[in-house]
Amino acid sequence: MLKIFFKGVTKHGHFRNNHLMKTCLSRRNFLSSAYELESEFNSRLNNKILKQVNPSNMYLELDQQYNRHKKLHAIDVDLYVNSISNDAYTEELEDILYKFRLTPSTVDTMDSTQHAVIRLYLKLNKTQELLEILDDRLNYGVFPGEIIIITTCAAMHLSSILKLTEYLTYEKINITNENGRAVDNIKSSHTEVHVMS
């Protein structure tokens, strides 16, 4: 579970000492961009077949195929998902994922399809939509169960959250102090994010 808290906050919301504040602010709180394997993922997408896929046309073909035969192929869905690079097609993507989930071929869903969906939504900063897709696994079929998918995508998401909180200034937050009571309206120029399971 992700919890935001200050280690050095006293009962009244002040830092105990300046040294602790300097330590918190000078520490590196996010993973390097190399951990996201962005260049490796993009090099995998530099494929002749994938470059020829037009997302608009592919969506129409997949939609027609589903409407006529109530069948979609896992490889076609994978090509479509991996061909999308901007947010112009996210609604169509969700529609295709939903329709594919209704077909018998859904058991053949490729890990790369799920990985590409998660990466795309994180890249486009559509965190809320991604959480809705992950929450509705039955209808969208995105099950981030493989360790590679979880590791890479969790790192990308955690890194983006940490970068965002690093730059937040004077935000109102609710935290709990060491006694477990809520301390409201603490203002600070920096927060520290810890992942607790």
Give the per-residue pLDDT at 84. 92
Read off the pLDDT of residues 110-151 as tens digits, 9 standing for 90 and up: 988 988 898 888 888 887 888 888 888 899 998 876 544 555
**pLDDT averaged over every residue in the chain:** 70
* pTM for the structure as a whole: 0.59
> Which pLDDT value is given to residue 158?
59
The two structure tokens encoding residue 59: 């969506």
Average pLDDT over residues 4-25: 44
What is the H or E stretch that residue 195 is in? strand 193-195
The residues that bridge with 194 in the sheet, in sequence order, are: 3
pLDDT of the residue at 145: 65
d(CA 78, CA 145): 17
Q: What are the tens digits of pLDDT across the range 162-186? A: 555 554 433 333 333 344 444 444 4
Among candidate residues 80, 82, 104, 103, the one with its CA nearest the CA of residue 92: 80
- The model's pLDDT over 98-107, given as tens digits with 9 standing for 90+, comes to 999 999 999 9
Helix (H, G, I), strand (E, B) or coil at 84: coil
> Whole-angstrom Cα distance, residue 77 to residue 55?
11
* Mean pLDDT of all residues in 30-59: 74
